[in-house]
Structure 1
């Protein structure tokens, strides 16, 4: 028996919980470090980079859940590790007021635990979804879980932002404790006994991992798309660690307001993804390459407007501009993922998983590198310029990367239509 629609939604709830906890650690906590504790932006950038770096262990977690015959234990165990790491990370932030080195040590442990938790839970969840979903439901199931994850991020950011004001360490710990506890409970209830009721589709044995990876890297399309993913995701993640500090330092947003800003951005991402999902896969309007290029160009234009706003060249509310950025980010991301699904089956057979794994690794590396680069660049610019121009230069640089990604997409991607529902969730 394969997964029913109700069971697919239950797995989507777990993906939603993963996104909610990770959002607090990559957005809210890094803003507190930079604004409230006046720490260099490169510090939270390095911590988030550590969490992404540890996620390069995802292939190992997938192999372990494949051979162990019980993915549920890794889904739940990983979520509990993520929840514990998220709470410890929040506690570590409050320690920066009294002991920098103790806080740093505890933060490193917390973000390592976060990376392990996301890798174990997220990889095992997607493996269960892929192997226990009927072939004709896989694309729709992937779409559902992806959108639920973005919804979870946006909802948590909005609600947590309300309760974080007025900020205090006790209030921060209370909000984070509620979020991580809810995520753990929902996960246990969502996946409990689910795996017993389905029969996972067995994967055929393949060549050794290194040999398969070499074969895929030798394919021109797969190699070019890997480079595109790395470039585009660098642009996508460069603003992740600096947008909330920008709102606090330049526009005087409170911790609650800047957390809500992150929710507004992810609300825009959700709408952008839904727009492409309906237009490209439902109404068959436009090729995926067109949506990718439009998303990259729109993201770049939104970033230029956000940068101009910070130096007085524009006088617009920040939140609507961030929503527009999120909309084009979502448009680009979901169209790129649809293209990835189409490309995964091109080339030598029985290598689809290897291709997706390669692109997933490129995304993880780009996420960590892009976030750290953006934070380090802001630190460097703030030594030379006022906060508005310093952030503006980095946002403009990110816009240039999006332009380069659009040009690369125009050159390497085929002008094909989206297969119905061709979307897949990811971290």
Structure 2
């Protein structure tokens, strides 16, 4: 069996794009609207986002469940359906927060729980499908392709939504989100239809085992354990800026909702360029030991530097060139992400057939913990800093500086991990269109 061909890999990338398109509106745009338009404390939306990440601690269980079935695509489709419903309810909850706060908060708690379940089930099963159906030599490139397509989903969604949201109104917000959700769900179904044909199904050579045993098996693997810790720390640094960047632009630079959403698109554009650059360089140097480790370290250090510049921007005022700095931050994030994801794909497949889902689930859970803690702590840091320092700019300086320090710690951890995938990744060339 040769595994999935490049057209099928690109189709699965559509699913990742669809997930990203919905999630970016939930964690970025709704967050900014709650803080700036409705005047809520930053910890309110951060709490909702943290809750949806906390629900994703079940990722390992979802992955283990898909390991035990004959097909993973039903898990993906079901997860996308739950995600779509959760996104619509979250938007309705946001529009009710001003007039009916108790109802809005209660509905948001339910909605963000559904979002967490949907992302966990669909995302983990998608990654497990890639790890189990893609030939080892293609895994690094497949990881890069799918994550690049996710960033494309971010960019297209935030750019289009940014234009459509101005002038802001609750009805306009609900209409925009509904359109994105419907399109994303249809795109995800197009991506998975026919992917798991019976004649292309691999046969697991390992028997099904209890969930607790599967977790213990992973933690006993030193490389998997070290990688889990790195994922948690690096994603803590990454996520701490996710919920405060748009409020930062709105509070200190006077950006409108549409302008700050477009700023998010610029950041994701930088990440796209970084991913492509790392992917091309990775294929050029894939035969050299440690290339992914080197790119991961470089991305972490670059992210720390960009966050340091943002800390300076908080005190420099509206004249500071914010957009180029945000682009560079995205660029560095993309470099470290694609190298780390390539390693993740190889390590998941290295666990043997029938274990890909639970291994991806463990790393997804580590990421979820980091995002839950990082997003909430970053937003809470702004609220606490504003009270402590009596200054909004100083609060942002402290939080951005702390994030930069955590990224430097992640770089040190990455230096101690052998992230080299044991197979040579194929060079990007027109033959990708074949198969």
Alignment TM-score, normalising by the size of structure 2: 0.89
Q: Which residue of 1 aligns with 2:282?
A: 280
Q: What residue in structure 1 maps to residue 236 of structure 2?
A: 234
Match of 2:362 among 353, 358, 361: 358
Instruction: Tell me how far 1:89 sits from its aligned partner.
Output: 0.9
Structure 1 runs not aligned, ≥5 long: 423-427
- 1-side partners of 2:423 and 2:37: how far apart? 47
Deviation of residue 343 (structure 1)? 4.9
- Give the equivalent residue in structure 2 for 1:6: 7
In the alignment, the residues of structure 2 paired with residue 189 and residue 216 of structure 1 have an alpha-carbon distance, to the nearest angstrom, of 33
- Other-structure match for 1:23: 24
Structure 2 segments unaligned to the other structure (5+ residues): 427-435
Alpha-carbon contact 1:219-1:347 (below 8 Å) kept: no
Aligned residue number for residue 90 of structure 2: 89
Cα distance change of structure 1 residues 91 and 347 upon mapping to structure 2, 3 Å threshold = closer
Mean Cα deviation higher: 185-194 or 143-152: 185-194
Q: Which moved more, 1:348-357 or 1:128-137?
A: 348-357
Match of 1:425 in 2: none
- Superposed displacement of residue 391, structure 1: 1.2
Match of 1:405 among 391, 397, 410: 410
Alignment equivalent of 2:296, drawn from 292, 297, 313: 292
Q: Tell me what 1:217 maps to.
A: 219
Deviates more, 1:108-117 or 1:183-192: 183-192
Question: What are the within-5 Å matches in structure 2 for residues 315-334 of structure 1?
Answer: 315-334=319-338
Distance 1:345 1:125 in 2: 14
Q: How many angstroms apart in 1 are the aligned matches of 2:12 and 2:351?
A: 31
Within 5 Å, which residues of 2 pair with 1:3-402?
Answer: 3-196=4-197, 198-203=199-204, 204-205=206-207, 207-284=209-286, 287-312=291-316, 315-343=319-347, 354-384=358-388, 385-402=390-407
Contact 1:288 1:418 in 2 (8 A): no
Aligned-pair distance for 1:206?
Answer: 5.1
Offset at residue 20 of structure 1 (A)? 0.5
Flag the 1:175–1:354 CA change in 2: closer, same or farther, 3 A.
closer
Which whole-Å CA distance do the structure 2 matches of 1:185 and 1:300 have between them? 38
CA distance in 2, matches of 1:378, 1:214: 38
Question: How many aligned residue pairs are there?
Answer: 421
Q: Cα gap change, 1:250/1:182 in structure 2, threshold over 3 Å: closer, same or farther?
A: same
Aligned CA distance change for structure 1 residues 218 and 132 (closer, same or farther; 3 Å): closer
CA displacement at 1:387 relative to structure 2:
1.6
RMSD between superposed Cα atoms in Å: 2.6
Deviations 1:321-364 (A, max 9, x none): 00100101111122222334455577999866654443222111
Contact 2:132–2:349 (Cα < 8 Å) also in 1: no
In 2, the alpha carbon distance for the partners of 1:66 and 1:212 equals 11
In 1, Cα distance between equivalents of 2:226 and 2:300:
17
Q: Write the distance in 2 (CA, Å) between the matches of 1:195 and 1:64.
A: 17
Alpha-carbon offset, residue 108 of structure 1: 0.7
> Please, which moves more after superposition, 44-53 or 308-317?
308-317
Q: Retained in 1: the 8 A contact 2:306–2:329?
A: yes
TM-score, length of structure 1 as denominator length: 0.90
Q: Distance in 2 between matches of 1:341 and 1:4?
A: 16
Q: Does 211-220 or 92-101 show the bigger shift?
A: 211-220
Partners of 1:253 and 1:4 in 2: how far apart? Answer: 44
Q: Would you say the 8 A contact 2:59–2:124 is kept in 1?
A: yes
Distance of aligned partners of 1:76 and 1:327 in 2 relative to their CA distance in 1, 3 Å threshold: same
Residues 306 and 321, structure 1, Cα contact 8 Å, conserved in 2: yes
Shift of 1:82: 1.0
Cα distance change of structure 1 residues 289 and 18 upon mapping to structure 2, 3 Å threshold: same
Distance verdict in 2 for CA 1:155–1:234, change over 3 Å: same
